[in-house]
Structure 1
Amino acid sequence: MDGDPRRIGPYRLIGQLGSGGMGRVFLGRSRGGRAVAVKVVHAELAGDAEFRRRFAAEVEAARRVGGFYTAEVVDADAGADPPWLATAYIPGPSLAEAVTAHGPLPPAAVRVLGAGLAEGLAAIHSTGLVHRDLTHRNVILADDGPRVIDFGIAKALDTVHLSTRVIGTPGFMSPEQARAGQVGPESDVFSLGCVLAYAATGTGPFGGGRADLVVYRVVHEEPDLGGVPAGLAPLLRACLAKNPADRPGLDDILDQMEAADAGATRWLPPGITAMITERGAAIRTPAPPGDPEPPRPPMRGDRVSPYAPVAPSERGGGTATAAATLALLCIPGLLAMIAQAAALLIDPGPPAWLMLTNLMVGVTEAVVLATGALLLLRHHAAGRWMTAVTGGSVALHGMSAGVQYLLTGGRLTLATPVSVLIFVISPLTALAAAGAMLMALLSSTGRWCLRRSRAGGPGGQALGQRGGAVP
């Protein structure tokens, strides 16, 4: 996409994978051809000195995390502008993608998933980190087991959001996290219970809907484990205890998961295994050295398997461009209407106050509509609403021009330049403005303008997702 960086540090960027509360995620290649997920911090966060300090500390701790079930942090530069980090790219779907596409996992696969995630969390906790945002989107399914991504990084967001926001995902955060209390390893155990319940049933144990209602249920209500296999329900209920001290340890979870086949390549249903195979094939062949434009990875809408919702920059571009184009087409008509209103100010026929009003309204509409169209093309939500509101105003203004003309003594004719302006140019301007308004209001245009997406890209490797406010 135009405006995306071409290189971060030593990594050549191929395409954008996703976006989150902390920044954007790109698929990149090292100089030796290895695929990595490069996570680039948003500019507004990069300007916060305390955030940079916390980010550097969290990244340094995350680089010490090892184990078989985590996506290793391979490189980072907290002092760069903007700061970034690179992790191993896992060519597989997120748990959210897999369940959405193929339904809940079978009980045996849930046990392998639980064992792998418990071992991954143990590796994270051994370095003093707490994940704080273990969700169905931060778990990647690979052919040799699951991987935990984005561990420890979300804590850096606390420096900029302070106590007014809770960093996490509603429905997967622990009660103590939802209350903005002290968060320890037990919080990740609660989140693990939520993830496994989702994997087994296709829905979270605290339901969906408005974020504040979901968080209320997390804090005050018991989980709904209907549909969880009987052999797993007692363990998940223990993981979801409100009191952190009542939750089992990771060793206890590993003992109960009986993951003897965790390394098997056929641990997942065939449909999900096919997703993993296709994504691995998409990145397996390194780009030739010196190739200035490596091909981007498959995105939603491509023939290759359906990835998770891609970054906002890849969605709704057609409707957004149409809205902006129609808005800019209104400008010549508006300028003609402005010029005519200015000329009629000295004409003794029409009331001066009416022409002055038309003049001021037309100038305002032209400036705001042009600004909105340009902002819209740059993915700003403000541009969308400026285009929609001002487009409606211009539509009314253009259609009312003929009525005003007739009420002030004009005749219904096309014999003069003024009548052509009033009865032809003004209605055409109004139609273009109405079209711009409607296109700007489409939900696809809204997705184009969305600055932060909770969805990850291929493999679900999104960055620093932020939860909702706690009531």
Structure 2
Amino acid sequence: MPRPRTPESDGPPPSEPATRPAHEPLRREDPRTVGRYRLTARLGQGGMGTVYLGRSRGERLVAVKVIQAELAADDTFRRRFDREIESARRVGGFHTAAVIDADAHGEPPWLATEYIPGPSLGDVLKRYGAMPTRTLHTLALGIAEALEGIHACGIIHRDLKPSNVIISTTGPRVIDFGIARSVDSTALTRTNMVIGTQGFLAPEQLVGAVSTPATDIYAFGMVLCHAAGAVPFAADETLDSALALLPATLAGVITRCVDHDPVRRPTPTEVLEQLTRNHLPSEDWLPPPVRTLVDLHNAPTALAP
């Protein structure tokens, strides 16, 4: 079985430059304003729509998610987006992104949140491969603390994955509550429709069972497996064989997180208690190339013409 790459042993892949622009320029078809916000750059695009870098009238930077016109025409989707806004407003704390403003009934619907400069964990892993142990520990602590706050609000994220974790100078931040739901809410999805992202779905999600906070814990364990390079490399390999690649200080808790039985998975608080016994705080938690990428995202952004 191949060993995972780490930034400490390999630099950026030869085919890529050492740095790249943190933001993409606006395209001709992109809006220039949404609500009271002036859009200056593209931050990313997903299944729901496009996320832009925006500025308030007071020059405050925000991330503005603008929903695709096709989805906006669907009343069920608008109700789902309205629920996303409600969920994101309820979740606070320094490991998530605060909601600044929103309009689920606008044309198009949009959501403005605190702008967190930094690449997603998904981008970092695609670019540099597996992370070293000290980085994994800080990621685990930050994401677990975010889940602790999210679950305390009665919210289940249901789509935790590397692309929904932002690597910032202040630590990891969990974003995107697009398919989150309250523990006691009624689902707005079609019958037999599986919600989430393949590879991070808990076994109970695959059979259509009700999601619980333990569902997020399974995804949390899988996020850390990916960040550690401990994922199956071939079709004939099992998750157990991949878990053998985990650092010894993390193997026990992550193995519990990806237990097939949700009852046996730990709570975020239990994860934090176990990890803090073995964690040595370090301000230098990011490998140098990843730190450079984060710094690039924090560089001043030119305004769009």
Q: What is the TM-score of this pair, normalised by structure 2?
A: 0.82
Q: Deviations over 1:325-349 (max 9, x none)?
A: xxxxxxxxxxxxxxxxxxxxxxxxx
Aligned length: 273
Asked whether 1:69 is paired with 2:95, we answer: yes
Aligned match of 1:139: 165
Q: Deviations over 1:436-458 (max 9, x none)?
A: xxxxxxxxxxxxxxxxxxxxxxx
Contact 1:41 1:83 in 2 (8 A): yes
Taking the aligned partners of 1:208 and 1:36, their CA distance within structure 2 comes to 41
Aligned match of 1:21: 47
Q: Which of 3, 8, 29 matches 1:3?
A: 29
Contact 2:39 2:53 in 1 (8 A): yes
Aligned match of 2:14: none
Aligned match of 1:129: 155
Secondary structure of the corresponding residue to residue 37 of structure 1: strand
Taking the aligned partners of 1:84 and 1:23, their CA distance within structure 2 comes to 9
Q: CA deviation at 1:261?
A: 5.9
Secondary structure of the corresponding residue to residue 63 of structure 1: helix
Aligned match of 2:304: 295
Taking the aligned partners of 2:269 and 2:108, their CA distance within structure 1 comes to 39
Taking the aligned partners of 1:46 and 1:208, their CA distance within structure 2 comes to 40
Q: What is the TM-score of this pair, normalised by structure 1?
A: 0.54
Contact 2:159 2:180 in 1 (8 A): no
Q: Deviations over 1:228-258 (max 9, x none)?
A: 1122111111100111101011111001212
Taking the aligned partners of 1:98 and 1:282, their CA distance within structure 2 comes to 21
Asked whether 1:254 is paired with 2:272, we answer: yes
1:223–1:85 distance in 2 versus 1, CA, 3 Å: farther
Q: Which of 163, 176, 179 matches 1:154?
A: 179
Q: Deviations over 1:184-226 (max 9, x none)?
A: 110000000001111112x5x35578xxx99xx7xxx656213
Secondary structure of the corresponding residue to residue 81 of structure 2: helix
Taking the aligned partners of 2:234 and 2:80, their CA distance within structure 1 comes to 32
Q: CA deviation at 1:104?
A: 1.6
1:268–1:181 distance in 2 versus 1, CA, 3 Å: same
Q: CA deviation at 1:144?
A: 1.8
Taking the aligned partners of 1:89 and 1:164, their CA distance within structure 2 comes to 35
Asked whether 1:245 is paired with 2:254, we answer: no
Give the alignment's Cα RMSD to 1 decimal: 2.4
1:206–1:183 distance in 2 versus 1, CA, 3 Å: farther
Aligned match of 2:109: 83
1:28–1:207 distance in 2 versus 1, CA, 3 Å: farther
Q: Which of 268, 282, 305 matches 2:300?
A: 282
Aligned match of 1:48: 74
Q: CA deviation at 1:62?
A: 1.5
Asked whether 1:272 is paired with 2:303, we answer: no
Larger of the two Rg values belongs to structure: 1
Secondary structure of the corresponding residue to residue 36 of structure 1: strand
Taking the aligned partners of 1:120 and 1:15, their CA distance within structure 2 comes to 28
Q: Which of 254, 272, 290 matches 1:236?
A: 254
Aligned match of 1:461: none
Contact 2:232 2:241 in 1 (8 A): yes
Taking the aligned partners of 2:128 and 2:62, their CA distance within structure 1 comes to 27
Contact 1:133 1:169 in 2 (8 A): yes
1:270–1:279 distance in 2 versus 1, CA, 3 Å: same
Taking the aligned partners of 1:33 and 1:261, their CA distance within structure 2 comes to 38
Amino acid at match of 2:292: A
Contact 1:223 1:237 in 2 (8 A): no
Amino acid at match of 1:181: A
Answer 1 or 2: which has greater strand percent.
2
Q: Deviations over 1:132-185 (max 9, x none)?
A: 11101111111221000103x2248x74x6135422111111111122221111
Q: Which runs of 5+ in 1 are unaligned?
A: 288-293, 297-471
Taking the aligned partners of 1:164 and 1:206, their CA distance within structure 2 comes to 27
Secondary structure of the corresponding residue to residue 243 of structure 2: coil
Amino acid at match of 1:35: L
1:56–1:261 distance in 2 versus 1, CA, 3 Å: farther
Aligned match of 1:167: 195
Answer 1 or 2: which has greater helix percent.
1
Asked whether 1:118 is paired with 2:127, we answer: no
Amino acid at match of 1:52: R
Contact 1:189 1:239 in 2 (8 A): yes
Q: CA deviation at 1:60?
A: 1.6
Aligned match of 2:204: 176
Contact 1:197 1:228 in 2 (8 A): yes
Contact 1:171 1:208 in 2 (8 A): no
Q: CA deviation at 1:282?
A: 3.3
Secondary structure of the corresponding residue to residue 282 of structure 1: coil
Aligned match of 2:217: 189
Contact 1:171 1:206 in 2 (8 A): no
Q: Which runs of 5+ in 2 are unaligned?
A: 1-26, 182-186
Q: CA deviation at 1:260?
A: 6.2
Aligned match of 1:57: 83
Taking the aligned partners of 1:69 and 1:256, their CA distance within structure 2 comes to 19
Taking the aligned partners of 2:200 and 2:63, their CA distance within structure 1 comes to 24
Q: CA deviation at 1:113?
A: 0.7
Secondary structure of the corresponding residue to residue 249 of structure 2: coil
Q: How does 1:391-410 map to 2 (within 5 A)?
A: none
Amino acid at match of 2:226: Y
Aligned match of 2:65: 39
